[in-house]
Structure 1
Amino acid sequence: MGQSRDSAQIEQQPYHFWIGPLKGPRPSFPLRFPLSLPVFHPPCPSNSKLCKKSSSVNARPTEEQSRAEHKAAGAESSPPIMRLLRLSLVLSSLALLSFLPASSSQDLQIVNAERRIDLSSHIIKVFLTLKVENTGTSPASEVLLAFPPTQADHLALLKAQAVIGKRKKKTYLPLDVNPAELPDGPNGTKYFSISLHNKLGAGEVATLEILYMLTHSLDPFPVEISQSESQLVYYRDSAVILSPYHIKQQTTFIKTPSSKIESFSMVEPTNRAGAELRYGPYENRSPYSYSPIIVHFENNNPFAVVEELVREVEISHWGSIQVTEQYKLAHAGARHKGVFSRVEYQSRPGSSGTSSFKHLLARLPPRVHSMYYRDEIGNISSSHLRLDSKKSELEIEPRYPLFGGWKATFVIGYGLLLEDFLFESPDGRRYLNFTFGCPLVETVVDKLTIKVVLPEGSLDPSVVVPFPVNQYLEKKYSYLDVVGRTVVVVEKENVVPEQSSPFQVYYHFSPIFMLAEPMMLTSVFFLLFVTCVAYLHIDLSIRK
């Protein structure tokens, strides 16, 4: 179709691009799709016959005429226009390839994987050993872990370490684990990236040991039991490991609290030996393989869950730290049905209420003093405190044993010596070194809140915690406070006992603020004394 000298013609021509991995061998059946890119035609010279108009306005040129026009126009185009055309094609190709996912996971494979699942408690512990090999040509700096949605929502702890050496000369190097994203993974799959200390070169093999814990992953069935019945639970998982890598060989071991296993899924080869199930070995499993299994077994361990725990640590530079802990405790096992008989519970302790618990153990800091244990009614005397130079253990008993679905609220308070927990950093700041987590043994905390009440006049508070938490500041007014005390609040959900690690709260404090309250009391007493003296020396009588 002809045009004037000052106009240009743009037509659509199909171009084919190969879609596939940026690395690795190209498949024998490349995926292709037509991509219409604009082709720019330069204006025709004035003496060219191609610029003559057609006799009919609506007539379309034939295929031979279009090819002739395109060939003639391309032959007579100027060099700058052709360079612009080539540049546009190159940029379009790069833009398309930038949207293709880079399959770095294809460069790694797991030579051997061994997974051990401990179901002895209501906190599930999984020990995973991976032998990773780099089959690519470029070094790898990270290894990805994949979790299905059912486990990702209940994941409480994830640790990884590299094994260096063999047998007695083994050393363990902790590795950083951070959340990651993989766009081409299955829906709902959550990924974590393990950063290797040294890059894994081509053909090299590394051994990783991984520990992760799951909470609220055992479902009671039946959901209601009587006082004399045992507690049965379901555990759901996969016989093979969910992974973005090809796994050459893998084995899974499941350990139950006892040999009373009602039923379990069979994924050949599957073996049972007492209280342990073995799934595998399975060989040459492709990425994202998944074989669901269910294990129905007896678990009478106490399902102690602290729905909410608020720990308030109040610092006084006069020599003491006061700690107050408010608990909302619940039994998260199978709900109790029927009538509770205390006579049967006390006369048959071995068979009545086997899944209930009537006492808890709290590990407190050493050298505690002024301890109390009470609830809304008043003081609870059924507690035993054992003191030691390195630790303090408090054994508490609620007013009644807790069965499935029952709850209890109570408060524990104690004092600590300031010199054991408050220190001064080289830059002049003060910092509190305290333990994060719940003192109760084998309990899950759904929501933990730690409030550190700093002395009045503290400035620039900051918190150092070894894992992600939510933190913010509050104000609290106590006796004789003028501007209020700064409160550092740290919150975390789904906390397990293994996360009881030290954390630090830094702040600036001038000793002059310690004189504020004594000066205030002195001023009040001085004014009272002056008022009394003035009153005694004033004669208010009426004389004649």
Structure 2
Amino acid sequence: MWKSVVVTLLLAATTLGAETFSKNLINKNVERIIDLSTQLVKVTTTITLENAGKDVETNFHLIPEPEHLGSLSHVSVKDALKQDLKVHQVKVDGKTAYRVNLRSNLAAGRTANVVVEYVYTHALESYPSSITQKDKQLVRYFGDHYWYSPYKTSKQTTAVTLASKNIESYSKLKPVSQTESTIKYGPYSDIDAFGIDQMIIHYENNSPFLTVTRLERLIEISHWGNIAVQEDIEILHTGAKLKGSFSRYDYQRDTSTTHHSIKSYKTVLPAAAHSIYYRDSNGNISTSQVRTRKDWIELELRPRFPLFGGWRSSYTLGYSVPSYQYLYKLPNGNYKLNMRLLDHVFDDMQVDELETSIVLPVGVQNVQVSYPFEVTKLDNEVAHKFLDTIGRQVIKLKKTDLVEQHIQDMEIVYEWSPHLLFHEPILISIALYAMFLICIIYVRLDFSIHSKKEEHSKKD
């Protein structure tokens, strides 16, 4: 009997503690903008939340469209003051959802405005999947006319921004209108929770469909005043594949600025970057150009050949920055490094896989790492550089499916003794001293077979 009572209490506690969707909240007004002008799908939604119940609400839930859940790369929410709200991925009723904590409690009968941003990668489908060198690139987008939400929506409008006014077709859930490269849907009223009505848009999009399939980022920290950064990058044109052979003659004659091939792209480097190099497997690529701007350095990268759909390329980019801009000494004597886990590769980039390695100075201890978002920490390694007898600790981090919104600083705090600066100079001094000593001893030694006395006696 007592066992059954305990089991009942445990089940009741589990049920009470389970996360559920609030029945008090409704979307009083939803204004959604879907940006389809690049290879990414960016959805910005302004929501007026209303508490129609009697209890105070402290959070609300978001659910991405089920069709694009696997393509969702970034989620962020801001309040009316444009301050970020904390977002946590959770499971509710077997569905993947995001719980958003409100900055202040939402009382009964009150409203709150929030702005939700979704960024999807690989959410546009090339249709047709293969095109010739002179064809335009057409893509299809499959979405939802309604804002997918666990709450009822009273009113909603949607504006879709396209890359071109050349539209093959689009779904027409009335009321709907088209102006140039913008399609407006709505207003729609009284939409049930989890309401779905498929949206299909087929249009021309010749923006660069360039994907970084793998990026290996190496950061070497030195207390001598320099931080060296090197990136090994593999890129792939993920647009419509090239059908037929490539003609260099036709390509050079084509003066169109809206071509689906990729001739070059621009990378943004820190303003203090110096000693910049850019090379591939054949050596340095001299066609690249470096332009100094006010707050950054613009590097125009031009591959050795234009990239069409399905074509790949790889290269290495490296530079150095002064350490005083990123490395700080704390009051307790520890050191703190603030540096980006991922940096800008090109506009509207999508990175399938990132692996960042941070090589710390010799002799660091008690390393603490803070991440701007969830990453996978790989096993630490030990690297041996020039004259390293102790070795340097290497922190390795991995992350998949990244976009520009992931360009954020990580924080590394560690203990380090300044006298270790003399570790390598002392080793060099000892090595030079030993070399000169060996030379002196070698010069003074006599390696002849006959002694000098025998030579003198023969002369006499």
Q: TM-score, normalised by structure 1?
A: 0.78
- Alignment match, 2:50: 133
Alignment of 1:277-296 (within 5 A): 277-296=183-202
State whether residues 20 and 92 of structure 2, in contact with CA within 8 Å, keep that contact through their aligned partners in structure 1. Answer: no
Shift of 1:426: 2.2
Match of 1:519 in 2: 426
Contact 1:221-1:234 at 8 Å conserved across structures: yes
Distance 1:451 1:97, change over 3 A: closer
Q: Check the 8 A contact 2:21/2:61 in 1, yes or no.
A: no
Is the counterpart of residue 241 in structure 1 residue 147 in structure 2? yes
Q: Which residue of 2 aligns with 1:114?
A: 31
Aligned-partner SS, 1:153: helix
SS at match of 2:147: coil
Contact 2:275 2:319 (8 Å CA) reproduced: yes
Structure 2 counterpart of 1:49: none
Q: What's 1:458 paired with?
A: 364
What's the offset of the Cα at 1:286? 1.3
Classify 1:285/1:530 alpha carbon distance in 2 versus 1 (closer, same or farther; 3 Å).
same
Deviations 1:270-306 (A, max 9, x none): 2222211122211111111111121101100000111
Partner of 1:202: 108
How do 1:117-516 and structure 2 match up within 5 A? 117-163=34-80, 171-183=81-93, 189-350=95-256, 354-388=259-293, 390-442=295-347, 443-472=349-378, 473-516=380-423
Q: In the alignment, is the contact (CA less than 8 A) between 1:459 and 1:507 conserved in 2? A: yes
1:535 to 427, 442, 455: 442
What is the alpha-carbon distance in structure 1 between the residues aligned to residue 439 and residue 425 of structure 2?
A: 21
Aligned mates of 2:9, 2:443 — CA distance in 1: 100
Contact 1:372 1:414 survives alignment (8 Å): yes
CA distance in 2, matches of 1:112, 1:380: 53
Equivalent in the alignment of 2:22: 105
Q: C-alpha separation between the residues in 2 aligned to 1:231 and 1:534?
A: 76
Looking at structure 2, the residues matched to 510 and 341 of structure 1 have their Cα atoms a distance apart, in angstroms, of 61
What is the distance in 1 between the residues matched to 2:373 and 2:134?
A: 42
Aligned to 1:533, the other structure's residue is in SS state helix
CA spacing shift, 1:124–1:282, aligned 2, 3 Å: same
- For structure 1, which segment, 220-229 or 94-103, has the greater mean C-alpha deviation from structure 2 after superposition? 94-103
Q: Deviations over 1:54-80 (max 9, x none)?
A: xxxxxxxxxxxxxxxxxxxxxxxxxxx
**Deviation at residue 241 of structure 1 after TM alignment:** 1.3
Identify if the C-alpha distance between structure 1 residues 88 and 257 changes in structure 2 by more than 3 Å, giving closer, same or farther.
closer
Q: Deviations over 1:232-261 (max 9, x none)?
A: 001001111111111111112111111111
Code of the residue aligned with 1:134 in structure 2: it is N
Larger deviation, residues 426-435 vs 304-313: 426-435
CA contact (8 A) 1:437 1:496 kept: no
Tell me the distance in 2 between the aligned counterparts of 1:291 and 1:312: 46
CA contact (8 A) 1:331 1:407 kept: yes
* 1:350-406 Cα distance to aligned partner (Å, 9 max, x none): 17x811111110100112221111100111111110124521110110000001110
- Deviation at 1:172? 2.5
TM-fit CA distance, 1:498: 2.4
- Are 2:19 and 2:92, in contact at CA under 8 Å, matched by a contact in 1? no
- Per-residue CA deviations over 1:75-110 (Å, capped at 9, x if unaligned) read xxxxxxxxx9xx989995995696487855211111
Deviation at 1:531, TM superposition (A): 2.1
Report the equivalent of 1:28: none
What is the percentage of aligned positions where both structures have the same residue?
33
Shift in Å at residue 349 of structure 1? 2.2
Change in CA separation of 1:262 and 1:524 when aligned onto 2, cut-off 3 Å: same
**CA RMSD, Structure 1 to Structure 2 (Å):** 2.2
Cα separation, 2, equivalents of 1:91 and 1:372: 66
Which blocks of at least 5 consecutive residues in structure 2 are unaligned?
455-460
Tell me the amino acid that sits aligned with residue 298 of structure 1: E
Alpha carbons of 1:271 and 1:92: their partners in 2 closer, same or farther (altered >3 Å)?
Answer: same
SS at match of 1:467: coil
Q: Say if 1:474 and 1:486, in contact at 8 Å, map to a contact too.
A: yes
SS at match of 1:172: coil
Q: Counterpart of 2:122 in 1: which secondary structure?
A: coil
Amino acid at match of 1:325: E
1:518 maps to amino acid: P
Q: Which region of structure 1 is more displaced relative to structure 2, 414-423 or 127-136?
A: 414-423
More divergent stretch after superposition (255-264 vs 459-468): 459-468
What one-letter code is carried by the residue in structure 2 that aligns with 1:245? Y
> In the superposition, relative to structure 1, how do residues 120 and 389 fare at CA in structure 2: closer, same or farther (>3 Å)?
closer
SS at match of 2:23: helix
Alpha-carbon separation, structure 1, partners of 2:98 and 2:60: 8
What is the SS of the residue equivalent to 1:259? coil
In structure 1, distance between residues paired with 2:196 and 2:157: 14
Tell me if the contact between 1:220 and 1:334 (Cα under 8 Å) persists in the aligned partners: yes
SS of the aligned residue for 1:498 comes to: helix
Structure 2 CA distance, aligned partners of 1:337 and 1:88? 69
Structure of greater relative contact order (alpha carbons < 8 Å, 6+ residues apart):
2
For the 8 Å contact 1:367–1:389, the answer to whether it is kept is no
Q: Which moved more, 1:433-442 or 1:129-138?
A: 433-442
Tell me how far apart the structure 2 counterparts of residues 532 and 94 of structure 1 sit (CA, whole Å).
82
SS at 2:245's partner residue? coil
- Asked if the contact 1:438–1:445 (Cα under 8 Å) also holds between the matched residues in 2, the reply is no
Give the residue type in structure 2 aligned to 1:143.
Answer: F
Instruction: Check 1:253–1:316 CA distance in 2 against 1; reply closer, same or farther (3 A cut).
Output: same
State the Cα distance separating 1:417 from its structure 2 match. Answer: 1.7
